[in-house]
Amino acid sequence: MENKKRLKNLNSWFYFNICEEYYKKFMQYEGELISLKNNDLALDFISKRYNLRIKRDNFAFISLIFAVMHLEAFIYDYAIINLPKKLVDEHIDRLDTVSKWIIVVQLTTGKKFPRSNNTFRLLKELIKYRNKLVHSKSKFMEEILPFDVESLESYDLEMENNAIEIAKQTHNAYKTIKLLYELLYKLDENKTTAQTWRLFFKNHNWLL
Chain centre to alpha carbon of residue 18 = 11
| Alpha-carbon gap, residue 197 to 208, rounded angstroms | 13
Q: What is the CA radius of gyration of the chain?
A: 21
In tens, the pLDDT along 42-55 reads 677 777 888 888 89
Confidence of residue 116 (pLDDT cuts 50, 70, 90): confident
pLDDT band, residue 145 (cuts 50/70/90): very low
CA-nearest of 197, 168, 193, 198 to 79 is 193
Indicate the burial class of 88 (C-beta count within 10 angstroms; 0-12, 13-18, 19 or more). buried
**Which has the higher per-residue pLDDT, 157 or 130?**
130
Selected residue with higher pLDDT from 155 and 71: 71
Q: What is the pLDDT of residue 21?
A: 92
Distance of CA 42 to the CA centre of its chain: 34
User: 4: pLDDT confidence band, cut at 50, 70 and 90?
Assistant: low
**SS3 assignment, position 46:** helix
> What are the residue ranges spanned by the domains of the chain?
11-132+145-207
Summary mean pLDDT of the chain: 80
Helical H runs in the chain?
11-35, 42-82, 85-90, 97-109, 118-134, 149-187, 192-202
CB atoms within 10 A of CB 129: 19
The confidence band for 123, taking pLDDT boundaries of 50, 70 and 90, is very high
Report the C-alpha gap between 50 and 52 in whole angstroms.
Answer: 5
List b or e across 96-110, with b for residues whose CB sees 16 or more CB atoms inside 10 angstroms.
ebbebbbbbbeebbe
